[in-house]
A and B are shown apart, each in its own frame.
Chain A
Amino acid sequence: SQQGEEDPQALSIQEGENATMNCSYKTSINNLQWYRQNSGRGLVHLILIRSNEREKHSGRLRVTLDTSKKSSSLLITASRAADTASYFCATEGNSGAGSYQLTFGKGTKLSVIP
């Protein structure tokens, strides 16, 4: 069942600008992860934030998590053309059959124009 929903579906920005993508989900989670996928290729894990964390940084990436609103955001600062890709959020459930299972959203397609 689809849980994460990214917003927007597509985003086009100029190089150097910041890109913000949002993810909403429906049920309780253990953690939320963000992945990047270059066109038709494999998924690259970017960052993981646990349910008891509110914010996490990794290089130019900043992820926030609001469990009360069941939402997360991914901020990419000072974007580069090489950041052009699709970005997916994935939630891991925290009990029963949901444990370990990752449920993906449909993704945000980011285009960074040089």
Chain B
Amino acid sequence: EAQVTQNPRYLITVTGKKLTVTCSQNMNHEYMSWYRQDPGLGLRQIYYSMNVEVTDKGDVPEGYKVSRKEKRNFPLILESPSPNQTSLYFCASRQLRLASLNHTDTQYFGPGTRLTVL
């Protein structure tokens, strides 16, 4: 089954304790992205990656890092989490338009990771 998986689904941590949220997709997609969702603000993009070893900042990258060492994985790293990073996080993936003649522009989202930083 084509899917995007995230782990963990729920996490409560304390300020300053480094954490990693993993994201993996099995659709061989080039493009992967991280979003955070906050009440009243909708979804905002944190980082994205166009392919292996290619990453770039989205709208709200401060306090986050990402890496793209393999095509299927795109972990989100919080080196020193703070309470303002308490949020619902979503990973997403899609094909690039030139990757296939039958490409789709649909982004596929993971189930979300609810993070609480105390």
B108 & A104 in contact (Cβ 8 Å cutoff): no
Main secondary structure of the interface of A (DSSP, over half): strand
Within 8 A of B (CB), among A67-114: 88, 90, 92, 100-107
Within 8 A of A (CB), among B41-66: 41-45, 48, 50, 58-59
A12: Cβ under 8 A from any B Cβ:
no
The smallest beta-carbon distance between B13 and chain A, in angstroms, is 19
B40 & A43 in contact (Cβ 8 Å cutoff): no
B: number of interface residues (CB 8 Å): 28
Q: Can you report 27 residue pairs joining A to B where beta carbons are below 8 Å apart?
A: A2-B41, A31-B105, A33-B105, A40-B114, A41-B112, A42-B90, A42-B109, A42-B111, A43-B43, A44-B109, A45-B106, A45-B107, A45-B109, A48-B104, A48-B105, A48-B106, A100-B31, A100-B48, A100-B50, A101-B45, A102-B45, A102-B92, A102-B107, A103-B45, A104-B44, A106-B40, A106-B41
Not counting A45-B106, A88-B42, a sample of 8 additional A-B residue pairs whose C-beta atoms are within 8 angstroms of each other reads A33-B106, A40-B112, A41-B111, A45-B109, A48-B104, A90-B43, A104-B43, A107-B42
